Amino acid sequence: MHSGVATNLGDLIGHDADLSKAAFIEVGPDGECGRFTHLDLEDQSADFGAALQAAGYRAGRSVALLGRNSVAYLIAYLGIMRAGLVAVPVSHRQPPAMIAHCLKDADARLVLTDGVVPVPDVDVPVVPLGPDMAEAIRGTAPKRRLTPVANKPRDVAMILYTSGSTGNPKGVELSHQSQLFALSVFEPMRPEVSRHVLSIAAPLYHMNALSLSKLALLMNATVVLFTDFDAEHVIRAIPSYGMTWLTGIPTMYALMAERPDLLDGVDLTSVRKITLGSAPLTDNLLSRLRRFFPHARYNNSYGTTEHGPSAFAAHPDGLPTPPLSLGCPAPGVEIRLVGGQDGTEGILEVRSPANMNGYRNLPDATAKRLKDGWYHTGDVFMRDEDGFYFFVGRKDDTFVCNGENIHPVDVERVLERHPSIAQACVVAVDDDVRGAAPVAFVTGDDPVPEAEIQDFYRANGRPVETPRRVIFVPELPLAGTNKVDRKTVRAWAHGIDVTRKTAGGTPAR
Q: What is the number of residues in the chain? A: 509
Range from 44-53, 302-311, 399-408, 471-480 that averages highest in pLDDT? 44-53
Give the angle subtended at the CA of 413 by the CAs of 431 and 466, to the nearest 5°. 30
132-151: average pLDDT: 87
Residue 14, phi then psi, degrees to nearest 5: -80, 155
What are 143-158's pLDDT values in tens digits? 889 998 989 999 999 9
Q: Are strands 328-329 and 374-383 parallel, antiparallel or unpaired?
A: unpaired
Nearest to 164 by CA among 237, 68, 98: 98
Architecture of the structural domain at 1-11+34-175:
3-Layer(aba) Sandwich (3.40)
Confidence of residue 500 (pLDDT cuts 50, 70, 90): low
Which three-class secondary structure state does DSSP give residue 406?
Answer: strand
**CA atoms of 319 and 237, how far apart (whole Å):** 35
Which pLDDT band holds residue 279 (cuts at 50, 70, 90)? confident
Helices of type H across 386-446: 408-415
State the Cα angle at 370 between 173 and 206, rounded to 5°: 40
Q: What is the pLDDT of residues 9-40, one digit of tens each?
A: 999 998 889 999 999 999 998 888 999 999 99
Residue 43's pLDDT band (boundaries 50, 70, 90)?
very high
Integer Cα distance of 309 and 181 in angstroms: 10
From 226, 228, 232, select the one nearest 265 (Cα to Cα). Answer: 232
Break the chain into its structural domains and give their ranges: 1-11+34-175, 185-301, 326-396, 398-493
Written as one letter, the residue type at 274 is I
d(CA 189, CA 387): 22
**Mean pLDDT, the chain, integer:** 90
The span from the CA of 157 to the CA of 410, in Å, is 37
Task: Count the neighbouring beta carbons within 10 Å of the beta carbon of residue 100.
Answer: 16
Question: In this structure, are residues 268 and 293 in contact, taking their beta carbons and an 8 Å threshold?
Answer: yes
What is the third-level CATH fold of 185-301?
Answer: Rossmann fold (3.40.50)
Higher pLDDT, residue 141 or 146:
146
Secondary structure letter of residue 340 according to DSSP:
S
CB 46 within 8 A of CB 146: yes
Q: What is the pLDDT of residues 191-247, one digit of tens each?
A: 999 999 999 999 999 898 999 999 999 999 999 999 999 999 999 999 999 999 999
pLDDT for res 323: 85
User: Is the pLDDT confidence value at 471 over 50?
Assistant: yes
Is domain 398-493 in CATH 3.40.50.620, yes or no?
Answer: no
Q: What percent of the chain has pLDDT over 70?
A: 96
Is residue 271 within 8 Å of residue 297, measured between CB atoms?
A: no
**pLDDT at 463 > cutoff 90:** no
Residue at 122: amino acid letter: V
Three-class SS of residue 456?
Answer: helix
pLDDT at 433: 64
Residue 9, H or E segment: none
Most confident residue range from 41-45, 306-310, 430-434, 496-500: 41-45
Residue ranges of alpha helices (H) inside 83-189 are 96-105, 133-136, 176-184
User: Is it the case that residue 48 has pLDDT exceeding 50?
Assistant: yes
Name the pTM for this structure.
Answer: 0.85
Ranges assigned E (strand) in 342-443: 345-351, 358-359, 370-371, 374-383, 389-394, 399-401, 404-406, 423-431, 435-443
Q: 185-301 with 326-396: one CATH topology?
A: no
The candidate with the shortest Cα–Cα distance to 292, out of 322, 323, 261, 321, is: 261
**Geometric angle at alpha carbon 131, from 97 and 60, rounded to 5°:** 55
- Band of pLDDT at residue 340, cut at 50, 70 and 90: confident
3-state DSSP call for residue 156?
A: strand
The CATH number of 326-396, from 3.40.50.720, 3.90.1150.10, 2.30.38.10, 3.40.50.10860, is: 2.30.38.10
Q: Cβ contacts of residue 354 below 8 Å, gap of 6+? A: 178, 179, 181, 182, 185, 307, 308, 310, 311, 333
Asked whether 307 and 288 are in contact (CB, 8 A), the reply is no
Dihedral sign computed on CA atoms, order 122, 208, 215, 371: positive
Residue 223 bridge partners (DSSP):
24, 198
Write down the pLDDT at residue 507: 40
pLDDT at 452: 94
Q: Is a pLDDT exceeding 90 seen at residue 163?
A: no
The shares of helix, strand and coil residues in the chain, as percent rounded to the nearest 5, are: 30, 25, 45
